């Protein structure tokens, strides 16, 4: 057991972790002695610890079932547990939709289960048929040949890291500004308005569009503030939506 740079006790589990050590780590997690447990394909499905309240999705997968299994680890009900936090670094929400969306399940052998909600990219996880280079039998691309046993060689791909900003996702497909102080939000909107030459009162209109109410007049006495990336992204999304509405 060790501390992260932030002073949080953390542990790691993978396929090489002895069973007794793995059990001790999970017991410490349940007791609150360990706050973070990273794992590699060990706790993705079948593991049940209801009091866990947050999960980080750090790996991509095209399998809808696996995605739902992973998110399901934090959806178990527990005493005094009101919600669960999912930090999606793998872009799985955009591919499969929200975990609570209805899924079109089917027992038909030729029909794959998929999430048909607007927030998912249904069909993007479809597989392609190809021929085996050894015996020419038809097989699924990326899978071993069922006729001769030939297995494709998986080429190692370089790991790329992209800078990003975690923002709240809404069910209407938008990206929201979460947990921001209303006054600071208004100050940041005024900063953006001054930079872009908005008309007087435009920042207040944007504030009302987001929070459903007008900002108090006395807030004009506070100076504008440099906007956070999430606020800039939200304003950009509103401008794009406005432009599309005018063009329609």
Question: CB–CB of 86/52 below 8 Å?
Answer: no
State yes or no: pLDDT of 123 exceeds 50. no
Could you tell me if 165 and 233 are in contact, meaning their C-beta atoms sit under 8 angstroms apart? yes
Is it the case that residue 136 has pLDDT exceeding 80?
yes
Q: What is the pLDDT of residues 2-54, one digit of tens each?
A: 777 888 999 999 999 999 999 999 999 999 999 999 999 899 988 999 999 99
6 or 70: which carries more pLDDT confidence? 70
Query: pLDDT (tens digit, 9 = 90+) per residue, 138-171?
Result: 777 788 988 899 998 877 778 877 666 566 666 6
Q: What is the pLDDT of residue 153?
A: 85
Res 55 pLDDT > 50: yes
Buried b (16+ CB within 10 A) or exposed e, 69-100: bbbbbbbeeeeeeeebebebebebbebbbebe
The model scores a pTM over 0.85: no
Q: Which is more confident, 189 or 103? A: 189
Q: What is the SS3 string spanning the chain?
A: CEECCCCCEEEEECCCCCHHHHHHHHHHHHHCCCCEEEECCCCCCCCCCCCCCEEEECCCCCCHHHHHHHHHCCCCCCCCCCCCEEEECCCHHHHHCCCCCCCECCCCCCCCCECCCCCCCCCCCCCCEEECCCCCCEEECCCCCCCCCCCCCCCCCCCCCCCCCCCEECCCCCEECCCCCHHHHHHHHHHHHHHHCCCCCHHHHHHHHHHCCCCCHHHHHCCCCCCCHHHHHHHHHHHHHHHHHHHC
User: What pLDDT is attached to residue 119?
Assistant: 47
Domain boundaries, the chain: 2-96, 127-162, 168-247
Which region among 68-72, 95-99, 122-126, 188-192 has the lowest average model confidence (pLDDT)?
122-126
Q: Residues near 199 by Cβ (< 8 Å), separated by ≥ 6?
A: none
What is the percentage of the chain residues whose pLDDT exceeds 70? 83
Nearest to 206 by CA among 173, 198, 220: 198
Q: What residue has token string 């007794």? A: 20
* CATH annotation of 2-96: 3.40.50.300
Residue pair 140/129 in contact (Cβ under 8 Å)? The answer is: yes
Please state which of the ranges 1-15, 124-138, 168-182 shows the lowest mean pLDDT.
168-182
Q: What is the mean pLDDT of the chain?
A: 84
Residue 84 has pLDDT above 50, yes or no: yes
């Amino acid at each position: 057991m060790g501390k992260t740079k932030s002073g949080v006790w953390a542990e790691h589990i993978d396929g090489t972790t002895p069973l007794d050590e793995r059990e001790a780590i999970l017991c410490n997690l349940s007791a609150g002695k360990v706050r973070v447990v990273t794992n590699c394909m060990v706790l993705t499905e079948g593991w049940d610890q209801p009091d866990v309240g947050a999960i980080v999705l750090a790996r991509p997968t095209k399998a809808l079932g696996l995605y739902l299994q992973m998110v399901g680890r934090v959806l178990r009900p527990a005493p005094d547990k009101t919600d669960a936090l999912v930090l999606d670094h793998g872009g799985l929400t955009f591919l499969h939709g929200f975990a609570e969306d209805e899924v079109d399940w089917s027992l038909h052998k030729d029909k794959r289960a998929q999430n048909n909600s607007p927030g998912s990219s249904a069909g993007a996880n479809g597989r392609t048929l190809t021929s085996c280079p050894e015996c020419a039998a038809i097989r699924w691309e990326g899978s071993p040949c069922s006729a001769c046993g030939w297995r494709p060689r998986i080429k190692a791909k370089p790991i790329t890291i992209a800078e990003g900003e975690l923002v709240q996702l809404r069910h209407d497909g938008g990206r929201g500004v979460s947990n921001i102080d209303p006054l600071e939000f208004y100050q940041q909107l005024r900063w953006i308005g001054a930079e872009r030459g908005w008309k007087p009162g435009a920042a207040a209109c944007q504030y009302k569009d987001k929070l459903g109410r007008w900002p108090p007049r006395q807030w004009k006495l506070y100076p504008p503030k440099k906007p956070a990336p999430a606020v800039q992204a939200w304003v950009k999304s509103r401008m794009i939506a406005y432009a599309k509405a005018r063009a329609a």
